[in-house]
Structure 1
Amino acid sequence: MRHVLTAALLLASASSSAQEQKPLTMSKTQRSQDPFLRQFSETRRFMSGRPGGVRISPDEKSILFLRTQPTSNVQTLYAFDVESGQTQELLTPEAILKGAEETLTPEEKARRERMRVSARGFTSYQVSEDGNRLLVPLSGRLYVVDRASGKVTELKTGPGTLDPRFSPDGKQVSYVREHDVYRIDVAANREQRVTKGGTEAKSHGVAEFVAQEEMGRFTGYWWSPDAKSIAYTEADTTEVEKLTIVDVMHPERGGEDFAYPRPGKANAKVRLGITPVTGGKTVWAQWDAAKYPYLATVTWPKGGPLTALVQNREQTEQKLLAVDPRTGKSRELLTEQDAAWLNLEQVFPLWLEDGSGFLWYTERNGGPEVELRKADGALVRTLVKPDAGFRSLARYIQKDDTLYFNGGPNPTQSHLWRVKAGGAPEKVTTGLDIESGSVSKSGGLMVMNGQGLKSMPKVQVVRGDGTTVGELPSVAKEPPYTPNVEQRQVGPERFWTSLVRPRDFKPGKKLPVIVEVYGGPTTTVVHKSMAAHLMSQWVADQGFLVVKIDGRGTPLRGAKWEREVKGDFSGVTLEDQVAALQALAKEVPELDLSRVGISGWSFGGYMSALAVLKRPDVFKAGVAGAPVVDWLDYDTHYTERYLGVPQQSPEAYEKSSLLTYAKQDKPMGKLLLIHGTADDNVYFFHTLKLSDALFRAGKPHDLLPLSGLTHMVPDPLVTERQWERVMDHFKRNL
């Protein structure tokens, strides 16, 4: 449930028994009178046409980026020249495909789903370390672009390549195909199999499901610094339970099986091997895999050893190991422990260029902290203190001991910060509310992605001294309005909230309320972002006050705040939504607490259903999109982190399950369930289980299946119809 869609659903309504018997529907004429919904859907939330996938070239002379057209999801590759400020189109999918249709293997589709990638065309690219070559995958094939001449060479690989990468010297390209790791010499254009014996059940070089979905590890192989060896994972899913997804619209096609580890059941058995790229015997890394079954992070840097981070199943203890590639023997560098759970940050450990030590991430002192450690793991000093609000590393420059990070102490904002020699953080900013920066290797150039409550995302290029070079060009359609948003902290807990009023709001007039919820670990929803409130404004303009709340269990307010959900997803998560809503109503009397609805997707869908089941006295109507219904049916790494292994804590699963509340003999709010039938993250049977339990309990509800769609809903027409349906639900019931 990593990087879940935060604000995917949100709607509104008004209710009477007559309206319930005769549902409100929108005619074609009515739809055409409101163009916003169509624009919002066709422009992918007004994000199509904006630069993405931005990278600074090693020589700092150009900025590479991907961009679609305003109403397209097909990405093209561009280069922005730092000296002239001019942008050049480098390569288009059309030029390569020449009219042929782009095709994706099931493995590539699954990988993009895990990475939440809905674009087509060029969805990724690699830059060689010298910056002279680009590696661009498309439709299962690989293309190398010589930047000086612009020449494009197709690599003669077999079909269905996955996770392609340049070798450190840029002379070879590696990838996964047919469950094994391959490499190809770019000059000779000749393919060679590196690993052997990979199968669907015992794959080589591919990150297993929970690594991709929950750990943020999307690869399963790593080059040695000298480009002579490759470390790779073998993921054995033989004992992992297989779940089948059938396209119910096309039963003649049969089903597709997925190895999906549910709590308390078998995980994939993962081991780490090292083999010469020319082929030969694999040396297997040695650690206590029975005690530490999760291979969370692997890195093989120029300045340090092959390094692996392994976790116990409960995720309360992890060890950082240095692995000898010749023997496979490992030595411990450090051990981290947490009574609740340990959060992963994939960029760490970050080894220094000279191998004298590494940067490390910890929360042992109550907040996110970055430490400098010696090569043997001994602590040198703290570089970023726990109260600084560290969220992601932008760059560490060893020569002048300067660290750049994104984040800050205010969870509704984000900025780029500079820390020199472990001193106090200095803000590096272009003046927008939410900024995230990337920094070139020398620190001479920065790319700042910024947005605010009154500005859509834009990308600025800034020199290290703060002077602006220019802005990467956008061709996006701009929204027709700026949302009317205000944010404040309320109640004794100082909950962060946002409130969107109708643009024709009249002070003193009571309005029904829609709470747009996520409410769980890993994600916040209260951001100083115009883009995040566009749909909220559309809803509000139809006569509602739209509220977002970040309660306990969400990140960015310290380890204790986040860990309040340990052992129970149904307690403080919902209590805090109610408490914050009531506190906000004391300051905003127009909030009509007798007419409150709630809407969310994924964990937010769980929260919406929980709200109308457990607190119908507060939440009269809800829309639950792709909800986790019974946590025994979600995946191991996410669920066991928060609720524990079910054999050890069955009560945590019982009180966190929606089925527990569906069966209770008590009234509930009006519930609309929405779910993609092909969802391989939160399976469609979650919603069917809840619908069945409610039906058997005699509790009416509505169900909207999205045929053939997954956990993401990228189809513009489906997005449009979905919002119409949800608005209809709220208007009838509030």
Structure 2
Amino acid sequence: MSHALPQEAFLTQYAETLQLRLGTPTVLAIAPDGAVLFSRTPARSFGADLYELEPRSGQTRLLATADGLLAGGAEALSDGEKARRERTRTATRGILYAELSAAGDVVLVPLGERVFVLSRPGGACRELTLGEGFPYDPRLSPDGRHVAFVRDGDVWVCDAVTPGAAPRRLTTRPHPDIEYGTAELVAAEELRRHRGLWWAPDSQSLLVQRSDARQVDTLYVADARHPDRAPVPFKYPRPGRPNVIVDLGVISLAGGEPRWITWDLARWPYLAHVQWPARGPLTLVVLDREQYEQAVLAVELEASEPQVRELLSERDAAWVNLPAGAPLWLDDGAGFLWLTEARGDWTLELHDARGAHLRSLSEPSLGLRSLVALDGDHVLVVASAGPASDPAAAALAACEAHVWRIPLAGGAPVRVTQVAGVSTAVARHGQLVVTTARADGGVVTTLHASAGRAVELPSVREAPLLSPTTELITVALEERQHVVAVTRPTGARAGQRYPVLLKVYGGPHVQYVTNSRDSYLMDQWYAEAGFVVVRVDARGTPNRGRAWERATLHDLISTPLAEQIAVLRALAATDPMLDLQRVGVFGWSFGGYFSAMALLLHPELFQVAVAGAPVTDWSLYDTGYTERYLKLPAHNRAGYHATSLLTHASKLERPLLLIHGTTDDNVHFAHTLALIEALYVAGKRAEVIALSGTHMVPDPRLALARERAHLELFRKHLTEPVGAGA
């Protein structure tokens, strides 16, 4: 092929730079003096170091390196830390986390089994003496004087000021299946809550999660690549089975028994969010088991026994989505901000301290995504590109994300970011830091300082060796507008027909079609091999309104699959380059499930599929995700049966490649084994690649081999005459 050499060079670059994420700054904290602390790796190294950007001068200085703190030693990770990094999809190492004291003069830096405190602005560094064992999730007190952490399921605290001070244990677990201070799997994987330990604003006590997993099924993950290693047991709740029982206690640094917080655990078993503001009550967001309802609870701690009152509750006929960044208490504690979908799309509301609704601050047409922070008498949010004049323009606007300022007193929102693309933001102390994946390529992180200056955080990310040609096209189906991302070979010739690759995720909470050019780098790599690569976000995906997303209630596959096929056919009807006699489909995780189901149910369209780490039977996945959409098995047995790949295994007619990590603790390898067995019993065969690894594939060698295997399969079955090799 004429593009063989640059195509191969790019693939190597893409794998060795962790999908070109290496070298980009990651904001960790903003200090009261306006300085921005961020971590950054070199362009081709997975080890991150700690930097500080001074806003007035715009200068960046190196605060600490992982190698320097470890004095050349290796970074050791506990099983718990490895699991947490899997939950957060973190593949880098080194200084990935830093926490500032309220005054900004102390920086906590954990590195595996070792924990360091740095002084600002001088930079003096000291390692804490924490004793034997791994400290998990260390947290700095707001006054900078103590560090709390979890070890072997108990909460400990250490004096961070006195050199050589020994840690004290604050809890004593009564049973091996009861832990303190950690988020359970469902919270971390499905509810975006990754911690189970919070300091009080006055630094005198800790809020501690207690997790009782005695009734939860124990599963074992064995590493077949290393048979000398014992299988790792872990608690994994599956649909219809018992969950971890979660409650909270307040523990004083002065000692004494925990003060347990009591709410209706039978009604609200899921703890989704915790906020302990300096002014305002300790606040919880809780959910029912099937996630039809959520409530915001205020906890008053002045009495001897904590008192819980409900501030608001919401119910949805399908499921409630957790509002990102909400509730957010006002600086004076007089009220809080809330996001709701009650009007058909996310809107921003102001409530008083008792929970009463005061006013709505935005319209559904804004396309809100998340709350960022208060900014004086305004609030910063992330939303779409803004209201549009027609449905097609609105669909395209939803492919972008921007920072907006909304007046708390009411009034029109003002867009802060003007560059087209997808932006995320953090803000504190009057400083706003925005990271934008740009529509014209590249990823830029910029500090918008309180004085009005804009300072770019330095990146050492490599420039990609390919430039995507991707177009975003709207396709109307009935009264719905779908946005399609189409990537063609460089120099594609009019009149020539190309085989089509449908690159898919297709499931909840992932928007796959966005106006960010570098999102399509791998699409272009496949296109340079002679394919047209297509992405579609059908119903069931986020950021297109409540009704669009809730279309998959009780059945996660039928509507998205039918719509993606219909969009693909409608696109091909107006674009003669697309040869629908030669179509492949591929994806990972939910996208792997989607790809396999597409091949099983529609062999008349799809000639070949690659399914990476697919969920094959929803009864084997976790409670928090599965029951949100399919509900309890007892309430939807037909849905579980119809949406299982095992049910349809006998329908396999086309080549299927399954790729799965044998130690995947999210979508377990048991999923792929179950499908292999069902295919075998039905007299069918699939090609299987079993990798020694987890749900992520960060190893550059494996990432290279995976993409080459995909391409080899697609070339074999799609670039020859129809039917050849099938």
Q: TM-score normalized by structure 1? A: 0.93
Following TM superposition, by how much is the alpha carbon of 1:607 offset from its aligned partner in structure 2, in angstroms? 0.2
Specify whether residues 726 and 466 from structure 1 end up closer, same or farther in structure 2 by C-alpha distance, changes over 3 A only: same
Give me the CA root mean square deviation.
1.7
Residues 483-536 of structure 1, C-alpha deviations (whole Å, 9 max, x = no match): 111001102221111000001211110000001101111001101122211111
Residue 484 of structure 1: aligned partner: 469
Among 497, 501, 513, the residue aligned to 2:500:
513
Aligned partner of 1:375 among 327, 343, 353: 353
Q: Give the match for residue 328 of structure 1.
A: 306
2:502 and 2:586 in contact (8 A); partners too: yes
Is residue 389 of structure 1 aligned with residue 376 of structure 2? no
2:653 partner SS:
coil
Q: 2: CA distance between counterparts of 1:305 and 1:136?
A: 29
Deviation at 1:320, TM superposition (A): 1.8
Gaps of 5+ in 2: 387-396, 719-726
Structure 2 distance, partners of 1:172, 1:345, is: 32
Match of 1:405 in 2: 382
- SS of the residue 1:539 aligns to: helix
Change (3 A) 1:655 1:296: same
- Distance in 2, matches of 1:51 and 1:108, equals 22
- In the alignment, the residues of structure 2 paired with residue 144 and residue 177 of structure 1 have an alpha-carbon distance, to the nearest angstrom, of 19
- Greater mean deviation of Cα atoms: 170-179 or 320-329: 320-329
**TM-aligned CA deviation for residue 200 of structure 1:** 4.1
Displacement of 1:407 in angstroms is: 3.8
Deviating more after overlay: 248-257 vs 571-580: 248-257
Match of 1:713 among 697, 716, 725: 697
Cα separation, 1, equivalents of 2:681 and 2:358 = 62
Contact 1:406-1:436 within 8 A present in 2 as well: no
1:474 matched to 2:452? The reply is no
8 Å Cα contact 2:508-2:541 kept in structure 1: yes
- Other structure's SS at 1:251 match: coil
Counterpart secondary structure, 1:252: coil
Report the TM-score, using the length of structure 2 for normalisation: 0.94
When residues 196 and 624 of structure 1 are mapped into structure 2, their CA distance, relative to the original with a 3 A threshold, is same
Identity of aligned residues (%): 43
Give 1:123 deviation, angstroms: 1.3
Moved more, 132-141 or 339-348: 339-348
The letter for the 2-side match of 1:56 is: I
- For residue 5 of structure 1, what is the aligned residue in structure 2? none
Give the counterpart of 1:255 among 231, 234, 237. Answer: 231
User: How many residues in Structure 1 have an aligned counterpart in Structure 2?
Assistant: 698
1:461 aligns with 2:437: no
**SS of match in other structure, 1:596:** strand
Note if contact 1:502-1:537 (Cα within 8 Å) is conserved in structure 2: yes
Residue matched to 2:213: 237
Q: Which moved more, 1:412-421 or 1:237-246?
A: 412-421
Matched, 1:434 2:422: yes
Distance 1:51 1:274, change over 3 A: same
Q: How far off its partner does 1:403 sit?
A: 3.7
Gaps of 5+ in 1: 1-12, 14-29
> Does the 8 Å contact 1:162/1:176 carry over to 2?
yes
Map 1:559-578 → 2, pairs under 5 A: 559-578=546-565
By how many angstroms is 1:587 displaced?
Answer: 2.5
Q: How far 1:199 sits from its partner (Å)?
A: 5.1
Q: Distance in 2 between matches of 1:619 and 1:200?
A: 49
- Shift in CA distance, 402/681, structure 1 to aligned 2, threshold 3 Å: closer
**Which of 140, 145, 163 is residue 171 of structure 1 equivalent to?**
145
CA–CA distance in structure 1, aligned partners of residues 367 and 84 of structure 2: 30
Aligned 8 A contact 1:143 1:154 in 2: yes
Q: Which moved more, 1:220-229 or 1:576-585?
A: 220-229
Judge which range, 121-130 or 425-434, deviates more: 425-434
Q: Distance in 1 between matches of 2:33 and 2:176?
A: 41
2:612 is the alignment partner of 1:638: no
Give me the whole-angstrom Cα distance separating, in 2, the residues matched to 1:691 and 1:377: 53
Q: In the alignment, which residue of structure 1 is the partner of 2:10?
A: 36
Q: Distance in 1 between matches of 2:209 and 2:663?
A: 28
CA contact (8 A) 2:190 2:625 kept: yes
Q: Deviations over 1:281-317 (max 9, x none)?
A: 1121112211221122222211111222221111111
- AA of the residue aligned to 2:613: A
1:730 matched to 2:703: no
Q: Are the equivalent residues in 1 in contact too, given 2:329–2:337 (CA < 8 A)? A: yes
- CA positional deviation for 1:635: 0.3
The aligned residue for residue 27 of structure 1 is none
- Once the two structures are superposed, residues 393-445 of structure 1 have per-residue CA deviations (whole angstroms, 9 ceiling, x without a partner) of 22113x42444434444221111111123322211124232222333333xx3
Higher relative contact order (CA 8 A, sep 6+): 1
User: SS at 1:281's partner residue?
Assistant: coil
Larger mean CA deviation between 284-293 and 258-267 belongs to: 284-293
Q: How does 1:206-605 map to 2 (within 5 A)?
A: 206-325=182-301, 326-345=304-323, 347-397=325-375, 399-409=376-386, 410-420=397-407, 421-442=409-430, 445-464=431-450, 466-468=452-454, 470-492=455-477, 493-605=480-592
The question of 1:188 aligning with 2:162 is answered yes
Amino acid aligned to 2:564: Q
Q: Please name the residue that 1:17 is paired with.
A: none
CA-to-partner distance for each residue in 1:187-215, whole Å, 9 max, x for gaps?
Answer: 12422222222654100010000000000
Separation in 2 of the partners of 1:523 and 1:372? Answer: 28
Distance 1:451 1:344 in 2: 24
Please give the secondary structure, in 2, of the residue aligned with 1:387: helix
Measured after TM superposition, the shift of residue 464 of structure 1 is 4.6
Q: 1:173 to 1:54 in 2, by over 3 A?
A: closer
1:69 to 22, 36, 42: 42
Structure 2 CA distance, aligned partners of 1:217 and 1:702?
A: 37
Partners of 1:199 and 1:147 in 2: CA distance: 41
In 2, distance between residues paired with 1:478 and 1:153?
38
Contact 1:520/1:604 (CA < 8 Å) preserved in 2? yes
Preserved CA contact (<8 Å) 1:137 1:143: yes
| Contact 1:38-1:720 at 8 Å conserved across structures | yes
